[in-house]
Amino acid sequence: MSIRPDSISGVVTDVRARSISSPRQRSLTGQSVETVVSEIATLVQELRADISAVGTQKRIIGLGVELAGQVDTAKGEVIFSPDLHEREGVYWRGVPLVADLQQRIGLPTVIENDANALAAHEQWFGDGAGAEDLVVILIGDRGVGSGVVSGRQLLHGARGVSGEIGHMIVSDLRRGCRCGNYGCLETVVSAAGIRESAGLNSPPFDLAPIAQAVDRGESSAIDAIKIAGEALGRGLSYVFNVVRPGLVVVFGPKELTQPDLGVRSASIFLGEMENSAKSGSFPRDTIAPKFALYPVDSSLGARGAAAALLHRFITQPNRARLAEIALRADYSVG
Per-residue model confidence as pLDDT tens digits over 81-115: 989 999 988 999 999 999 999 999 999 999 999 99
- At 111 the three-state DSSP class reads strand
Sign (positive or negative) of CA dihedral 249, 254, 255, 259: positive
266 contacts 225 by C-beta, under 8 angstroms: no
What's the pTM?
0.91
Q: Closest by alpha carbon to 65, among 17, 101, 15?
A: 101
The whole-number pLDDT of residue 298 equals: 84
Per the omega criterion (within 30 degrees of 0), is the bond before 317 cis? Answer: no
Q: Do domains 2-117+298-333 and 141-295 have the same CATH topology?
A: yes
For 108, 150, 313, the CA distances from 61, given in Å and listed in that order, are 7, 28, 10
Position 186 confidence tier, pLDDT thresholds 50, 70, 90? very high
- The fraction of the chain above a pLDDT of 70, given in percent, is 93
Per-residue model confidence as pLDDT tens digits over 135-150: 999 999 999 999 999 9
Which one-letter DSSP state was computed for residue 259?
G
Per-residue model confidence as pLDDT tens digits over 191-224: 999 999 999 987 789 999 999 999 999 999 999 9
Cβ contacts of 202 within 8 Å, gap of 6 or more: 191, 192, 195, 196
327 vs 317: CA distance, rounded Å = 15
The whole-number pLDDT of residue 67 equals: 97
Cβ contacts of 262 within 8 Å, gap of 6 or more: none
- At 285 the three-state DSSP class reads coil
The whole-number pLDDT of residue 181 equals: 94
Cβ contacts of 304 within 8 Å, gap of 6 or more: 2, 17, 66, 112, 114, 117, 118, 120, 121, 334
- Fold classified for 141-295: Nucleotidyltransferase; domain 5 (3.30.420)
Position 285 confidence tier, pLDDT thresholds 50, 70, 90? low
- Is 57's pLDDT higher than 90? no
Q: Counting beta carbons within 10 angstroms of the beta carbon of residue 18, is it exposed (0 to 12), middle (13 to 18) or buried (19 or more)?
A: exposed
Domain segments of the chain: what residues?
A: 2-117+298-333, 141-295
Percentage helix, strand, coil, to 5, in the chain?
Answer: 40, 25, 35
Q: For the domain 2-117+298-333, what is the CATH code?
A: 3.30.420.40
Helix axis angle, 33-53 to 97-105, nearest 10°: 40
